[in-house]
Structure formats: C-alpha cells, structure tokens
Amino acid sequence: MSSSSSASLIDSRRDQIFPTFDAAQIEIIKRFAGAPQHYPPGQILFKVGQHAVVSYLIVAGTLEVNRRDAFGASGIITTHGAGQISGEIGALSGRPALAEAKVGAEGCTVVPLNAAALRALVVGSAEIGELIMRAFILRRVSLIQSGAGGPILLGAAGLRDLVRLQGFLSRNGIPNTVLDPTRDRDAAALLERFDVSIEELPLAVCPNGEVLRNPTEAELAHCLGMLPELKLNRTYDIAIVGAGPAGLATAVYAASEGLSVIVLDSRAFGGQAGASARIENYLGFPTGISGQALAGRAYTQAQKFGAEFAIPAEVARLQCGEHPNDMTPADCRFPSFILSLKGGARIAARAVVVASGARYRRLAIFNCCDFEGRGVYYWATPIEVKLCAKQDVALVGGGNSAGQGAVFLAGHAEKVHLLVRGSGLETSMSRYLIDRIGALPNVELHTETEIVDLAGNSEGLQRVRWMNRATGVEEENALRHVFLFVGAVPNACWLDNCGVTLDGKGFVKTGADLSNTDLAALFWKPLDRLPLPLETSRPGVFAIGDVRAGSVKRVAAAVGEGAAVVAQLHAFLTT
C-alpha cells in the first residue's frame, strides 16, 4: 500500500500509535530501563537494518523517526517528545530496525529499554504493557502499509517467484515494496545497471543495499536479519516445530509459565490457518477474524513472554537421546533432543513438540507442478486475489478452508467455479459457509467433479478441463487461476528413524492410540509409566494439531491441544 494509507492510519489513531505516558507511568518505566543518556542534535541512534536495537523512553528533547528505503529515499514518520517510547513490535525480540532514529534539533535525553527489559515491562505492568503492545502493533501495521523499512522487490506482476517472495514477506509481517520494471523507470534503470537477465528476476534489494537475484526465502531472510543466532551450546526446555495455531498456542502458554521456548517453521507463522481470509467460527470473534490477524496476535503474544522464533528454518532430522555437547548416547530417562536444520544449524532441547501440521495435496496431474505460482495456488491471499481480479477462477475442495477461500475470491473474481468430488458440501463444510456460498450469485458449485487436465504456456496456466465423475462429461474453460484445497498430507517425514510411530497415512500416533508394539522399544523400559495423552512413542516427544493422528482439523482444536500439551510437558520435565 502507499504511504498515504500509512498516513491515514497514523492520523486516525495517533493517540494509540504514539501514546504519551504521565509522570507516574514514566517512573514505573524507569524501573525497568537503563541509566539516562544524553545525545547531541543530529546524532543517529539506530539505522534501518541495525540489529538488537533498543527502545528509548524520551525524558527530554525530541527523537525523529524516519523511513528510509534501499534506494536512499527517506521521509519522516513521527517525532517523539518527552514521555513517549520509540520502537515497534520487532523490538520485543531484538529484530533489525525498520526505521531510522535521529536526535532532534534541541538534543535528547533518553532511558534505554533493551528487548529483555521491554518484555519485563509489558509483563510486569499490565496497564503500561497494554498501551505499549497496542502502539507497537499499530506501528508495524503502518510500516507494512507504507512498505517502509523492508526490501524492494523488482519484477513483472504475476511472475511466479515474485509472488513467492511477496507471500513469504507478507505472511511474516515484513514490509515490502514491489516495483514493476515494465512500468517503473527507476526499476528498469536498476535492472539495466545490474545487467539482470530474465532468469534472475525478481530482484530483491535489502535495506542495507545488498542486491539478491531471485533469492530463496532463506537467502532473503538472512539478508533481512530475520533469523536469530542458533547455538548448540544452549539447551531449550522446549523446541516447537511448526508455527501454526497449535505451535503458537504452545509457545504462548509455555513461555508465559517460564519455560525457555524456541519455535521453528519452514515458511511463516500461522500455518494454513494464517492464509484464511476470514475465520468466523472461532470462539470470541463473532464478526470473524482473518487468519493472518489471529496468527499475528499469537505470534506477538508469544514474543511478549520471551519465546524465540526461527523462521524460515526447516527441520531436516530429529536426533533423540543424545547430549548436545559430545553427541554420545544418553540415559533414556533424561534425553536431550537435537534438531538438525537444513543449512547445517542444530538446536538442543529437553522436549520436542511436533506441530508441523499438514500441507494440501497436489492434483494427480503430471504437469500440476509446472503451474504452481503461475496459475495454481494453495491459498488465497490478497496477493493472489490481485492477480485474478475480475476473472473466472476455479477452486477445488469441499472443506472449511475451501469454503472460506471461495467466499473471499467471490468478492473479487468475476466467477468462482467450486469443484468437489462428493455429491455436496454437507458432510465436509460448516453450515454457515454452505449458506454463505449458496447466497453468492457468482459461485457455481460443480459436484462429483474433478480436474483432469491443465494446459498453458510460458506465461502460465491458460486452460482447465474438468470431468463429471458420474456422467463422464468433460468441460474445458479458458481459466488462468486454480486454487487447490484438496486434502492434507502430514509434514512428518523429518521424524524418520527417531522412534516416533506414524499411522498408515503418515500422521503421528500419541497416547492411547499407541499399541504395545509401538511401546516395545528399549527407551520405554526404564520408565515406570505409559505415554501421556499427547506424547508419542518416543518419551519427551509430543504431537499436536493437524499432524497428530485422530486430531480434529479445526483452528480451535489445534489451539486447545497447544494449551493442553504444556501441562504434560511440565509433567515430563519434572519427572
């Protein structure tokens, strides 16, 4: 969005975004802060992209906060005065700064609050904590709307890898700006300057000026300083693999109870739920809430209590029952788990929570992969919707996620063809979504229907053919966009060879679902107990959410399991 959108948010909610604390509140804040420091006029306290930036309570004078992009363009966001605090939500975890702070013309006296002190303040004082958290969240929203502080992406609209990087940044709440070199002279000049070929697009220009040619998500994250420093010589109480609703709930409850927590996810916080346009059957939100907003609140809440996040960080393998230092076998009664990440890093933890969820299946069509990101999508977010506005689209799937996607797309597409293999939606979709879809004039339901062919060219998908399974009649349509919500495949392959039992479909078995055969391994013999309800066949490894066999595939159920597993983790860690 444009900077004018950001300005309108700031103008309408300025008192909430930039609160001024009174004398009594300032004295409370000072108890958590460092010693007062004075800076002369014009001094830069931190720059865009600088790591471990502290927040400052301004005691006297002023502090200017400026946006500055990778091309050097700048503009003032606000000027903090006495009684105000600098920073945004990234300050809770010491993430790189998204803005620049410069001392005003009269100088400035401040007291600093590093990440640990800031977290202690927002937890220790409920009243002040609420004001700071609201302000920091709204500041991040305004930065996202204006694109300030984030990378600049250069590429033609609809380019597969541009969509991929946009989705990655947006899902992780990172501001970004997209420039199309076919329409923007500066972008075209930059591509010419770097002699960039078509195969090397999109180009990503980081705030520090570094230029990446069609980077992976991991390469872009490294350039932006998104990943924390991971050290094997530290052992966390809990390592949570997966930052969907289940993993986020575990992080919030475990961290709030004093356990040291690290959460790892290969792409973004929120999981599949984070891509939902609107969730209307989640307790406490009668008007609904977007999956991104719900996940973003949980992500921020977990950081408030001290949980650490490593995103994107893909776990390649779980090694069980080993010491982190010498990697020799340990007593099964007191195991230490090692998570080996793609890229070589390793993390040690006393317990592991498997919350890696599931992914949507691909169509059983040989060239489906060829069109991923070029007409075939596995979620419907504003990025994809912009590409298919005022066009006919097809959506495949009969579950709630498919229903939410159809409703969202119907507000932007000319027509939505909803394809389901069954005879209707009643057995797989919530009633409120069925009624909503039935009331939409531009959604056509095709029952007992499946896609049998995709065709296109170098520009992407061009035609889709589907068949009615009952009659055998085929129909071809000139569609360029297909959205797939066609069942779940568990993300559990990284558990191979570590003693965690899976069912026939690859989901993780826990508690009462484990048979005597599952528990016959040697590491259970020293233990005078049976697995806890959410514990796997490997002591100290727990499974929750969509990846767990027999789980209810709903956001509320995943959150409930995330909360319930914390009590079982305490029981395991204290035995």
Q: HEC string of 117-175?
A: HHHHHHHHCHHHHHHHHHHHHHHHHHHHHHCCCCCEEECCCCCHHHHHHHHHHHHCCCC
Instruction: State the Cα–Cα distance between residues 507 and 46, nearest whole angstrom.
Output: 47
Q: State the pLDDT at residue 5.
A: 54
Mark whether 380 and 347 lie in a shared domain. Answer: no
**Mean pLDDT across 509-523:** 87
* Residue 39, in any domain of the structure: yes
How do 100-113 and 37-39 pair as beta strands? antiparallel
Q: State the pLDDT at residue 333.
A: 43
**Mean pLDDT across 528-557:** 94
| Residues whose CB is less than 8 angstroms from the CB of residue 101 and which lie 6 or more positions away in sequence, other chains included | 44, 45, 46, 56, 63, 64, 65, 66, 86
H-helix or E-strand spanning residue 456: strand 449-457
Question: Higher confidence at residue 458 or residue 406?
Answer: 406
| Residues whose CB is less than 8 angstroms from the CB of residue 533 and which lie 6 or more positions away in sequence, other chains included | 510, 511, 512, 564, 568
Q: Read off the pLDDT band of 7 (50, 70, 90).
A: low
Instruction: With a cut of 60, say whether residue 137 has pLDDT above it.
Output: yes
Of 28-42, 191-205, 341-355, least confident by mean pLDDT is: 191-205
CATH of the domain at 37: 2.60.120.10
CATH of the domain at 541: 3.50.50.60
* Residue 169, in any domain of the structure: yes
Mark whether 471 and 439 lie in a shared domain. Answer: yes
| Residues whose CB is less than 8 angstroms from the CB of residue 82 and which lie 6 or more positions away in sequence, other chains included | 20, 58, 59, 60, 61
* Residue at which a domain ends, from 144, 170, 200: 144
**Mean pLDDT across 122-145:** 94
**Mean pLDDT across 51-80:** 89
Instruction: State the Cα–Cα distance between residues 285 and 70, nearest whole angstrom.
Output: 39
Task: Quote the number of domains for the chain.
Answer: 4
Mark whether 122 and 27 lie in a shared domain. Answer: yes
Instruction: State the Cα–Cα distance between residues 423 and 405, nearest whole angstrom.
Output: 20
Instruction: State the Cα–Cα distance between residues 211 and 203, nearest whole angstrom.
Output: 7
- For the stretch 489-507, pLDDT in tens is 899 999 988 889 999 999 9
Mark whether 372 and 447 lie in a shared domain. Answer: yes
Instruction: With a cut of 60, say whether residue 3 has pLDDT above it.
Output: no
* Residue 555, in any domain of the structure: yes
In the structure encoding, which two tokens stand for residue 422, read together? 């069954």
- The phi, psi pair for 186, rounded to 5°, reads -60, -40
DSSP 459-483: TEEEEEEEEETTT--EEEE----EE
Distances (CA, A) of 572 to 393, 436, 542: 50, 45, 10
Mark whether 170 and 99 lie in a shared domain. Answer: no
* Residue 207, in any domain of the structure: yes
Mark whether 164 and 200 lie in a shared domain. Answer: yes
- For the stretch 402-421, pLDDT in tens is 999 999 999 999 999 999 99
* Residue at which a domain ends, from 170, 192, 224: 224
The average confidence (pLDDT) of the chain is 91
Measure CA of the first residue to CA of the last residue in the chain; give whole Å.
52
Q: State the pLDDT at residue 22.
A: 97
For 211, which DSSP code? E
Mark whether 108 and 159 lie in a shared domain. Answer: no
Q: Which amino acid is at 300?
A: T
User: The domain containing residue 49 runs over which residues?
Assistant: 17-144
Mark whether 207 and 274 lie in a shared domain. Answer: no
Mark whether 64 and 82 lie in a shared domain. Answer: yes
In the structure encoding, which two tokens stand for residue 296, read together? 């973003």
Q: State the pLDDT at residue 458.
A: 85
Q: Which amino acid is at 84?
A: Q
Q: Which amino acid is at 64?
A: E
Q: Which amino acid is at 403?
A: G
Q: State the pLDDT at residue 190.
A: 79
pTM: 0.91
* Residue 7, in any domain of the structure: no
CB 113 within 8 A of CB 56: yes
**Burial of residue 352, with CB atoms counted within 10 A of its CB: 0-12 exposed, 13-18 middle, 19 or more buried:** buried
Q: HEC string of 213-270?
A: ECCCHHHHHHHHCCCCCCCCCCEEEEEEECCCHHHHHHHHHHHHCCCCEEEECCCCCC
* Residue 3, in any domain of the structure: no
Q: State the pLDDT at residue 129.
A: 96
Instruction: State the Cα–Cα distance between residues 249 and 564, nearest whole angstrom.
Output: 9
CATH of the domain at 186: 3.40.30.10
Q: State the pLDDT at residue 487.
A: 76
**Mean pLDDT across 261-289:** 92
Instruction: With a cut of 70, say whether residue 324 has pLDDT above it.
Output: no
Q: Read off the pLDDT band of 321 (50, 70, 90).
A: low
How do 346-354 and 337-341 pair as beta strands? antiparallel
Q: Read off the pLDDT band of 82 (50, 70, 90).
A: very high
Instruction: With a cut of 50, say whether residue 56 has pLDDT above it.
Output: yes
* Residue 11, in any domain of the structure: no
For 550, which DSSP code? T
Q: Tokens 């984030």 belong to which residue?
A: 150
CB 318 within 8 A of CB 273: no
Mark whether 88 and 122 lie in a shared domain. Answer: yes
**Mean pLDDT across 237-247:** 97
Mark whether 245 and 179 lie in a shared domain. Answer: no
Mark whether 270 and 315 lie in a shared domain. Answer: yes
Q: In residues, how long is the chain?
A: 575
Q: Please, what's the largest Cα pairwise distance for the chain?
A: 80
- For the stretch 9-19, pLDDT in tens is 777 788 999 99
**Mean pLDDT across 235-243:** 97
- Angle (CA) 218-219-224 rounded to 5° is 95
Q: State the pLDDT at residue 6.
A: 56
Closest listed residue to residue 377, CA positions, set 155, 157, 203, 164: 164
Instruction: State the Cα–Cα distance between residues 202 and 152, nearest whole angstrom.
Output: 10
- For the stretch 200-219, pLDDT in tens is 899 999 988 889 999 999 99
**Mean pLDDT across 285-299:** 93
* Residue 329, in any domain of the structure: yes
* Residue at which a domain ends, from 192, 224, 256: 224
